[in-house]
Amino acid sequence: MDKKNYDHFDLNNGCYFDLPFVQTQVQGALDNSIFNYFNSCIIGVYLLHIKPIRLVKRWVIMEFQKDLSHLGWEEVRNRQLQRMSLVSEWASIAGIKEGSTLLDIGPGPGAFLNEYASLVGTNGKVIALEKSKEAIDYFLKTSNQPNVITVCWNAEQPYNTEIHDIDVITLTDVLHHAESILDILKNVRTLSNVKTRILISKFDPETQGAFGPPLTSRIPISQLKSAILSIGFEVCREGKQDFEHYYLLLKTEPST
């Protein structure tokens, strides 16, 4: 994606905006009553004063819906299952193993939780922090994992219950659904210690966009790293994955 055509990516709403250009194109389309020429192609019947419009190069598209409940949790789970091969990679990168205590933030309907539960075994536990009660209910109806503890909580809010000795915190395919990514990262910082490994895996905007959210709803790795470093994390490892993903493995910098 050519970043120079866009305004700054906002970590609190997740998109690039070039509003003067969009306004010009909308008005041009209306004035000429032509909706099929390239620079004035309008997808949907959304105006700027009613609903935000997002820009991909010089096309206008409807806003990405961060809340996936409209799809139905079974459909969301099926999409997770298509990416199940990533879980073993995440586990290897983050060192999830027998006896680990894992905090998984935003698991949705929990397709990945079953694999995590198997990896940590009976001597470990998985704490699933999910803001949707409906997603939690769906997981509990479709799975029976005694070592998975579900907590209904919005990770953008400070967690008011202490969790000790977390080995790994995972945030996979979740940050683009948040209203404030920075708030989540700050809260993760308070939940982690110097031994905690934090794994973030995201859809990469430097790809074709064949999977997952629109390219404009994806966070560039360079900007995410800048935010991470400003909060007090250290990037230990990074790389690319299948399904148009990149990952960052973090640890908390010791207090000085």
CATH of 69-252, one of 3.30.565.10, 3.30.200.20, 3.40.50.150, 3.40.190.80: 3.40.50.150
At residue 61, φ and ψ (nearest 5 deg) are -130, 160
Looking at residue 44, its amino acid is: G
Kindly calculate the radius of gyration of the chain based on its CA atoms and give it in whole angstroms: 20
CA 177-53-27 angle, to 5 degrees, is 180
DSSP letters, 131-157, are S-HHHHHHHHHH---TTEEEEE--TTS
CB 170 within 8 A of CB 105: yes
pTM here is 0.72
Distance CA 66, CA 175 (A): 10
**Residue ranges per domain, the chain?**
3-62, 69-252
- What does the pLDDT profile of the chain (256 residues) look like in tens digits? 333 333 344 555 444 444 443 344 434 444 444 434 344 444 343 333 334 433 333 333 334 444 555 667 788 899 889 999 999 999 999 999 999 999 999 999 999 999 999 999 999 999 999 999 999 999 999 999 999 999 999 999 988 777 778 999 999 988 876 788 899 999 999 999 999 999 999 999 999 989 888 888 888 999 999 999 999 999 999 999 999 999 999 998 776 5
Instruction: Please report the beta strands in 160-196, taking only residues with DSSP state E, as ranges in sequence order.
Output: 168-172
